[in-house]
């Protein structure tokens, strides 16, 4: 008989709103949701009094960077940080050594998920202009999405040109597989950097000035064009630009299949933070002005934005620090997976009067649906995996990079006060994080999620 657990006394957040209810977990699944669980001697009781129970976060944009001989993050520490931030599923980006661009690399990466991760992980396949047969091989290995860069990123992950973008949208157009694009115009971006560098600028704000909204808006415009003429499924990664959101609204009204995510960097930080944080806040797109941040929030409120993801992108402090002298010397990306959902939930509830159900939609339900993992993931329903994040909405804490569970102990949220905390996180029915006990269980308890998992039995 599968083990029985009763999670009692909590407030369960479903798509219909928060409701006082107990959850019966049998083995790894939710077996029932009821007003009051019956007393049973064989049930282990988890007391959730005073807590809100949310579907475990589904973070569809992580860079745990596996495999990587330098081990700049890895599935083990990355998934520990995820658990402490209420995340139970990640969709891992292709960047690694080697980058995941063939079926063979994906096959090896799947094994590493099961050996090293503590949360469940699905995979993106990388598109770099390789033969379409390689994309088919990755689909056959179970990737849930494809990712490409419009601007030059790194030699290990070359960007694609318009012909490849068109070809791949066509290739994917008879599937529901999202084609995720990092939308920045390469030529506008390179010109902007050259202009600021020629002016002798080395300060943090020069980074933002070098890649203004236009850089992102032009690329979103082009990506929408190819999605529209092919009927493909476009997923706009980390949108930080109100004009980009406006193009997406218009495209949707014409029937274009497009989903869009944003990240905490673009919701909770602005140029004053970039100035203060310097290299620790250097990411791409760049952190925007307060006015633009407020307009991104309007996109959250009106439902234009589907997903909030972390774009967790680890670098060592040694790699980032030279950017304090010269911003161009800092690599692009921030540690984000642990602080993301508590900080966003705090902002939504305590400063913006938004609902906890909307948070559940953005952090779990919508990402699970878009990436084919729903309703096994992203939902508190009978039959769903018992992936649960128990939040205390009155527990304040202060972000300290040194205390984070990811490998590199820095964060652009250093010193930030957050008014809610993930206090217990369950993956498939097992408590894997407790705010007092810490991380529980062994590495390798996570499972690889192949495309189609959401609909599987």
Q: CB nearest Zn ion: which residue?
A: 311
> To the nearest whole angstrom, how small is the minimum distance from the Cβ of residue 197 to Zn ion?
24
Residues 147-176 that bind Zn ion (CB under 5 A): none
76 forms part of the interface with Zn ion (CB under 5 A):
no
261 forms part of the interface with Zn ion (CB under 5 A):
no
Site string for Zn ion, 324-363 (x = CB under 5 A): ----------------------------------------
| Residue among 230 and 265 whose Cβ is closer to Zn ion | 265
| Residue among 279 and 375 whose Cβ is closer to Zn ion | 279
> To the nearest whole angstrom, how small is the minimum distance from the Cβ of residue 239 to Zn ion?
12
Binding segment for Zn ion (CB under 5 A), chosen from 205-213, 214-222, 305-313, 334-342, is: 305-313
| Residue among 259 and 311 whose Cβ is closer to Zn ion | 311
Query: Cα separations (Å) of 455 from 147, 195, 374, 385, 447?
Result: 23, 50, 7, 12, 16
> To the nearest whole angstrom, how small is the minimum distance from the Cβ of residue 274 to Zn ion?
18
> To the nearest whole angstrom, how small is the minimum distance from the Cβ of residue 313 to Zn ion?
6
Binding segment for Zn ion (CB under 5 A), chosen from 124-132, 303-311, 317-325, 365-373, is: 303-311
> To the nearest whole angstrom, how small is the minimum distance from the Cβ of residue 273 to Zn ion?
19
Q: How many residues bind Zn ion (CB under 5 A)?
A: 1
> To the nearest whole angstrom, how small is the minimum distance from the Cβ of residue 410 to Zn ion?
18
Residues 8-27 that bind Zn ion (CB under 5 A): none
311 forms part of the interface with Zn ion (CB under 5 A):
yes
Binding segment for Zn ion (CB under 5 A), chosen from 112-120, 173-181, 226-234, 310-318, is: 310-318
| Residue among 120 and 311 whose Cβ is closer to Zn ion | 311
> To the nearest whole angstrom, how small is the minimum distance from the Cβ of residue 309 to Zn ion?
9
Question: Which residues form the interface with Zn ion (CB under 5 A)?
Answer: 311
């Amino acid at each position: 008989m599968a083990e029985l657990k009763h999670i009692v006394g909590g407030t369960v957040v479903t798509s219909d709103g928060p409701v006082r209810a107990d959850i019966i977990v049998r083995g790894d699944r939710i077996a029932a949701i009821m007003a009051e669980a019956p007393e049973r001697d064989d049930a282990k009781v988890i007391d959730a009094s005073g807590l809100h129970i949310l579907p475990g976060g589904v973070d569809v944009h992580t860079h745990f960077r596996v495999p990587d001989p330098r081990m700049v993050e890895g599935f083990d520490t990355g998934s520990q940080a995820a658990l402490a931030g209420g995340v139970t599923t990640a969709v891992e980006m292709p960047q690694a050594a080697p980058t995941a661009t063939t079926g063979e690399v994906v096959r090896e990466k799947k094994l590493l998920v099961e050996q090293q991760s503590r949360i469940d992980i699905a995979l993106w396949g990388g598109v770099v202009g390789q033969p379409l047969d390689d994309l088919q091989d990755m689909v056959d290995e179970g990737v849930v999405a494809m990712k490409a860069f419009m601007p030059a990123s790194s030699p290990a992950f070359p960007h694609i040109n318009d012909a490849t973008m068109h070809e791949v949208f066509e290739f994917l157009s008879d599937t529901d597989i999202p084609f995720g694009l990092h939308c920045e115009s390469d030529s506008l971006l390179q010109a902007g950097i050259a202009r600021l560098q020629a002016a002798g600028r080395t300060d943090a704000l020069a980074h933002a000035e070098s890649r203004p909204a236009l850089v992102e808006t032009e690329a979103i415009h082009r990506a929408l064009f190819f999605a529209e003429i092919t009927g493909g499924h476009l997923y706009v990664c980390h949108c930080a630009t109100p004009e980009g959101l406006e193009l997406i609204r218009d495209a949707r009204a014409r029937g274009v299949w497009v989903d869009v995510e944003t990240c905490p960097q673009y919701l909770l930080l602005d140029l004053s933070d970039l100035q203060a944080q310097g290299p620790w806040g250097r990411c791409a797109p760049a952190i925007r002005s307060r006015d633009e941040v407020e307009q991104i929030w309007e996109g959250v409120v009106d439902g234009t934005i589907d997903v909030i993801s972390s774009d967790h992108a680890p670098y060592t402090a040694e790699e980032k620090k030279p950017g304090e002298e010269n911003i161009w010397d800092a690599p692009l990306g921030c540690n984000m997976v642990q602080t993301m959902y508590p900080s966003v939930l705090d902002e939504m509830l305590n400063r913006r009067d938004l609902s906890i159900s909307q948070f559940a939609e953005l952090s779990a339900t919508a990402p699970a649906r878009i990436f084919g993992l729903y309703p096994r993931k992203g939902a508190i329903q009978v039959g769903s995996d018992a992936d649960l994040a128990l939040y205390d909405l009155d527990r304040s804490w202060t972000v300290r990079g040194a205390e984070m569970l990811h490998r590199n102990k820095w964060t652009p949220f250093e010193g930030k006060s957050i008014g809610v905390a993930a206090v217990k996180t369950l993956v498939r029915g097992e408590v894997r994080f407790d705010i007092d006990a810490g991380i529980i269980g062994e590495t390798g308890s996570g499972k690889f999620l192949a495309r189609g998992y959401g609909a599987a039995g």
